[in-house]
């Protein structure tokens, strides 16, 4: 019997049949974040040095061919499709990708406290990225004036000078199971996503419950919170019509969240599956959908009216105390290369991350004991962005804060 099995195994080789070829090297693992796992930093460093050496050969036929091969692997890993009839588009995207690769490798080899990656947006211009995620944000005039004057005035927090008292030195509401799953926004409604995180988290903490672990199971509908938005000149797209937040909820950062908190308190938030996300679909408030959930079972913020503002620019301890109670919402400058390509570590890029406020997120934790103290932030660009959809931002002292995150007072519910 053993001889029969052996002969069957050897027969194809004897007939001149070649063994199956080895699979081609997988050049996509870095792009899919494998190389950026904390246990794989050595591998990531090796990748960066390999790419740096390859970039030095980009002007040679062999080097250019290898870079194109890497580009193909990256495109396949992220589901990018460039039809053959659009060769010019593919060529243009390759040039953008190559420029981004140079920047990413340069940043990573500089040994900053954070590192970058060639993510889904590596073949796009910053204008395209800004239009998709941050277009339509219209910060309050006072914050715009402060942002213009804030250049270079942010410094790391001096933890020893903080009067923390009995406040915990580290809080992670994600690890505690109190933060809902990371969502992926479309255009113009970052504030509604941040508000949904804050509302559900506050409910979970106050009632000693676990937050939803999937977007479909989310207890707070983003679409119900989404309101009409005044579109700024740089993004002349049709505005979203009001759902339930009302026409007053222009896209004005934390001010928009106040309206979201108010309507959630008055009406009660219903689950995502009852009132699904429609990508800014023009529709009026679907009160029929809301009425499907009995009023007693809807989630409401614990405060009336609305939220309370935290003067973080002058009192960082107050913000720490607020986050120690529950996640808070805040506005920041996020249209820059450091933020766009973030993959891990603690973001500390004051020269780059210092622009007009253009995005709203939620602070879901902090760590004052880390070598570089940081805020743990949940974004709304999907779980494939950053560190599983989140980012650590350096905790700065009084002033505008890293990425100008203190300029508009963050909003807390607990």
Q: What is the pLDDT of residues 363-397, one digit of tens each?
A: 999 999 999 999 999 999 999 899 999 999 999 99
pLDDT of residue 306: 56
Mean pLDDT, residues 38-66: 81
Of 146, 300, 139, the closest CA to residue 224 belongs to 300
pLDDT at 158: 92
Residues forming a β-bridge with 60: none
Q: How many residues comprise the chain?
A: 414
Question: What is the predicted pLDDT for the residue at 262?
Answer: 80
**Cβ burial 18-51 (10 Å sphere, 16+ → b, else e):** eeeeeeeeebbbbbebebbeeebeeebeebbeeb
130-412 architecture in CATH? Alpha-Beta Complex (3.90)
Tokens of 72: 């193909």
pLDDT digits (tens, 9 = 90+) for 87-137: 668 889 999 999 999 999 988 888 788 988 888 889 988 778 777 665 445
Q: Which residues contact 107 (CB under 8 A, 6 or more apart)?
A: 115, 116, 338, 341
Quick one: tokens of 260? 């979201």
Residue among 290, 233, 235 nearest 263 (CA): 290
Separation CA 287–CA 246 (nearest Å): 13
Phi then psi for residue 296, to 5 deg, are -65, -20
CA distances from 283 to 264, 278, 298, 301, 316 (A): 18, 9, 21, 24, 40
Residue 305: the pLDDT is 54
The chain-wide mean pLDDT, for the chain, equals 78
Residues 206, 414 contacting (CB under 8 angstroms): yes
pLDDT at 22 over 50: no
If residue 360 lies in a helix (H) or strand (E), which one and from where to where? strand 359-367
- The partner residues of 322 in beta bridges, in order of sequence, read none
What does the pLDDT average to over 51-68? 93
pLDDT at 48: 87
- Residue 252 has a pLDDT of 45
Mean pLDDT of 132-152: 54
Q: Where are the domains of the chain?
A: 26-124, 130-412
């Amino acid at each position: 019997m053993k001889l029969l099995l052996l002969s069957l195994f050897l027969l194809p080789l004897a007939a001149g049949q070649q063994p199956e070829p080895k699979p081609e090297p997988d050049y996509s693992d870095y792009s899919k974040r494998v190389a950026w796992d904390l246990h794989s930093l050595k591998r990531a460093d090796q990748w960066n040095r390999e790419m740096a050496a390859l970039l030095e050969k980009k002007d040679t036929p062999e080097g250019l061919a290898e870079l194109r091969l890497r580009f193909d692997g990256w495109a396949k890993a992220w589901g990018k499709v460039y039809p053959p009839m659009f060769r010019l588009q593919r060529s243009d995207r390759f040039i953008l990708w190559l420029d981004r690769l140079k920047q990413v490798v340069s940043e990573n080899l500089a040994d900053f406290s954070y590192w970058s990656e060639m993510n889904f947006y590596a073949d796009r211009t910053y204008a395209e990225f800004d239009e998709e995620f941050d277009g339509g944000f219209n910060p309050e005039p006072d914050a715009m004036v402060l942002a213009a004057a804030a250049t270079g005035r942010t410094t790391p927090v001096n933890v020893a000078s903080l009067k923390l008292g009995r406040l915990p030195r580290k809080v992670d509401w994600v690890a505690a199971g109190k933060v809902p799953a990371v969502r992926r926004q479309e255009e113009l409604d970052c504030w509604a996503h941040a508000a949904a995180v804050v509302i559900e988290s506050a409910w979970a903490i106050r009632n000693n419950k676990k937050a939803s672990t999937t977007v479909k199971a989310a207890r707070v509908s983003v679409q119900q919170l989404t309101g009409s938005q005044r579109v700024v000149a740089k993004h002349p797209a049709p505005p979203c019509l009001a759902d339930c937040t009302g026409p007053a909820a222009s896209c004005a950062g934390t001010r928009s969240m106040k309206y979201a908190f108010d309507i959630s308190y008055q009406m009660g938030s219903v689950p995502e599956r009852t009132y699904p996300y429609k990508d800014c679909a023009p529709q009026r408030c679907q009160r029929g959908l809301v009425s499907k959930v009995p009023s007693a079972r809807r989630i409401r913020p614990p405060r009336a009216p609305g939220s309370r503002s935290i003067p973080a620019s002058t009192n960082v301890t107050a913000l720490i105390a607020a986050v120690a109670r529950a996640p808070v919402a805040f506005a920041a400058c996020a249209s820059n290369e450091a933020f766009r390509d973030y993959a891990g570590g603690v973001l500390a890029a004051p020269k780059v991350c210092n622009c007009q406020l253009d995005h709203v997120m939620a602070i879901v934790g902090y760590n004052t004991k880390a070598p570089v103290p940081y805020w743990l932030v949940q974004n709304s660009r999907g779980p494939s962005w950053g560190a599983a959809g989140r980012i650590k931002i350096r905790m700065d002292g009084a002033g505008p804060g890293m990425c100008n995150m203190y300029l508009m007072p963050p909003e807390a519910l607990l």
